[in-house]
Structure 1
Amino acid sequence: MYNRWGKAVILLLVFLCACTSVPVPKETLVQAPAVLQTDSSLTTALKQDERPVVLGFSQVGAESRFRNANTKSIQDAAKQAGIDLKFSDAEQQQSKQIEAIRSYIAAKVDVIAFSPVIETGWDNVLMEAKEAGIPVIITDRSVDVKDHSLYITLIGSNFVEEGRKAGKYVIDKMRNVNRPIRIAEIRGTENSAPALDRKRGFEEIIKDNPNMEIIASETGNFTREEGKEVMTRFLKKHGRDIQVLFAHNDDMAFGAMEAMEEIGLRPGKDIVIVSVDGGKEAFQAMLDGRLNCTVECNPLFGPLLMQAVRELMAGRNIPKRIIVKEGVFTQGTAAREIGNRKY
């Protein structure tokens, strides 16, 4: 339990900066490690009561390749770290996620972590965890709560910045086009942090370009099937008036490509496509000329989560926000980078 170890002040990213006295900002950018480094002193601290640390983790679902890679990363990292992982899949339902968190509270796990389905509606259950003395780590997606002491840290991507990167690519790609540029957008799950933030970041970048206009925007729930359905509707309504597609993840982009090809359009040529995630399939699509750009959203932060759990249970301090370092990849860099993709 958290109370056994004392309540840590969330100021420093100790697992990156244990050997320096330089202050760490509250928002810290790190590269998720491929392998969790073992520290014998931390292992001793974790097992001083002769039992493994128990982590209850509620995953948002299995809606995409990103999510599946994220799940595997967390499960593999827990096994490597010797952490007893209690895992549940919310199947995109907040009610199931709240139920899982309450079950972890009842089971008196040491730490709770979860990737929230949507941003809002977490205050009560997180207060229950706090009152039980169980620390909570948020992963991947943010929560909108009045009291930010209800969770210890958020580990994941900067979704607003991902949207900005997508917008910057579109502006650069279309810089020599001297006519109106009509953009279609397939958003992620309604009211989820990545959907809200990617849209905000993208619009922030393109809003001052008078030639650019988003003429269609719908949710595709991060799935390939709904991405195809949404793009089919867009094409029926707007036809070849669409010059650019911004899909909030790779899977929806792949579904949209299928819809384009069914009416004889060439993805990546007749319609410029930029997506988010950066999985291996996206790199192959860029090599094939079907996808123009993918903005990386790195799912492989399982080792980073386990490191945070270990530091927390050892009574050490971690920052309130840990942002995973990510890149932008295009057709021009796909061949060089595809071999480095781990998902």
Structure 2
Amino acid sequence: MGCQAASVVFLNPGRANETFWVSYTQFMQAAASDLGMSLQVRYGERDTQKMLREAREVLQGTQRPDYLIFVNENYAGPEILRLSVGSGVRLFAVNSTLTADQQRIAGASRGRYPNWIGSLVADDEAAGYLMAKALLRQGEASGAPLQMLAFSGSKQTPASQFREQGMRRALAEYPQARLLQLVYAGWANERAYEQGLQLLKRYPQTRLVWSANDEMAFGAMRAAKQLGRVPGKDLLFSALNNSPEMLDSTVDGRVSVAATGHFSLGAWAMVLLHDYDAGVDFATHGGKDRQIPIFVLLDRRQAARMKANLARPGFGIDFRDFSLALHPERKRYEFSVQPLLR
């Protein structure tokens, strides 16, 4: 902890050309820039072995950062923690932290691995629930039978599992609704397209399509159009993310239910690390491990506002406004994507 800018490496599990993870990184870069931190991003390219090689390089190389931000994608978290032993690097988990089962073995943050200082995750269960509930409500209003297909992400990713649990919780509130089938499309457009062609032929009575992200929603939508269905009319879609395509599709009505917010988590993690580095420990201001209600459902107007703000330099946000080290009069963190909806 000195006057020198804190250096951070983000081990990004996604691909360097993947819309979600690229925008996630851009948001982090904007925060780093506002807070005077240095940020280097290494993409895992959705390959767990590559991600672990990158982790080893960062943690055991000669130019080590002050902090490493990682995601427990495909349950790789404990291995990343093992690689960090003796490195002097402090670790922080975003998006997916270690599961309860993993923590029974590896311990919680600031425990067996004292340099693992904390985590910040979204309430993914709430996201799955909010989307499904809104979709079922719209379906009910249209008078169509509540027959749903679901496209989930990856069986091995906690965020995906939680979204699916939320979707099932919403379904349980609608006993007249029926989940025709749930498939894992691995977050991918092409895979959801292929599965969508098969499923929509098998279940022509489908009226609702729940999807754990936007890419899968668009793949399923492409299949639907090919089969003569009309998204937003006789087939209602939910989608989750912040891609320009999703925001446009919400504005024009092809996406009936749009959820977003978790792309901002990396930036909020940068705020927490900035403060920690400045001697303000986030653990005493709301806990070392936090789950925040970051997801919002967007109406058409908000989708248009968000798209405009995401295109602005720095997104029209000053991330210093969220720092407790820079605002000692405040006692707690207020992280939210509301500034992007104005």
TM-score bin, normalised by smaller chain: 0.7 to 0.9
Equivalent in the alignment of 1:200:
165
Equivalent in the alignment of 1:132:
87
1:99 to 53, 59, 69: 53
- 1:112 has 2:68 as partner: yes
Equivalent in the alignment of 1:58:
11
2:126 maps to a residue whose letter is E
1:81 to 35, 42, 50: 35
Contact 1:291 1:331 (8 Å CA) reproduced = no
Equivalent in the alignment of 1:290:
254
- 1:222 has 2:175 as partner: no
The answer to which of 227-236 and 266-275 deviates more is 227-236
Equivalent in the alignment of 1:122:
77
1:306 to 270, 278, 282: 270
After superposition, give the CA deviation of every residue in 1:51-70 in whole Å (9 maximum; x if it has no partner).
44322211011374221100
Distance 2:275 2:261 in 1: 25
Distance 1:222 1:236 in 2: 21
Contact 1:272 1:291 (8 Å CA) reproduced = yes
- 1:170 has 2:138 as partner: no
1:141 to 76, 96, 106: 96
Contact 1:155 1:324 (8 Å CA) reproduced = no
Contact 2:210 2:239 (8 Å CA) reproduced = yes
The answer to which of 303-312 and 260-269 deviates more is 303-312
Give SS of 1:66's match: helix
Equivalent in the alignment of 2:218:
254
Contact 1:179 1:211 (8 Å CA) reproduced = no
Give SS of 1:174's match: helix
After superposition, give the CA deviation of every residue in 1:263-310 in whole Å (9 maximum; x if it has no partner).
211011111111111433223212322110101133134442222222
Identity of aligned residues (%): 19
Distance 1:267 1:292, change over 3 A: same
Distance 1:338 1:77 in 2: 18
1:264 to 212, 221, 228: 228
2:199 to 234, 238, 254: 234
Q: CA deviation at 1:171?
A: 2.9
Give SS of 1:148's match: coil
Distance 1:249 1:263 in 2: 22
TM-score, structure 1 length as denominator?
0.77
RMSD of equivalent CA atoms:
2.5
Higher relative contact order (CA 8 A, sep 6+): 1
Contact 2:210 2:237 (8 Å CA) reproduced = yes
Q: CA deviation at 1:179?
A: 6.7
Q: CA deviation at 1:121?
A: 4.1
* Unpaired runs of at least 5, structure 1: 1-44
TM-score, structure 2 length as denominator?
0.77
Equivalent in the alignment of 1:182:
147
* Unpaired runs of at least 5, structure 2: 316-342
Distance 2:92 2:177 in 1: 39
After superposition, give the CA deviation of every residue in 1:231-269 in whole Å (9 maximum; x if it has no partner).
11212322x211100011112111211111112110111
| Mapping of residues 314-333 of structure 1, within 5 Å | 314-318=278-282, 319=287, 320-323=289-292, 325-331=294-300
Distance 1:316 1:338, change over 3 A: closer
Distance 1:52 1:122, change over 3 A: same
How many residues end up aligned between the 2 structures?
Answer: 294
2:205 maps to a residue whose letter is D
1:275 to 239, 262, 267: 239
Give SS of 2:262's match: coil
Distance 1:208 1:306, change over 3 A: closer
Distance 1:311 1:337 in 2: 27
Distance 2:70 2:200 in 1: 37
Distance 1:229 1:116 in 2: 28
Contact 1:156 1:324 (8 Å CA) reproduced = no
Contact 1:111 1:134 (8 Å CA) reproduced = yes
Q: CA deviation at 1:169?
A: 0.4
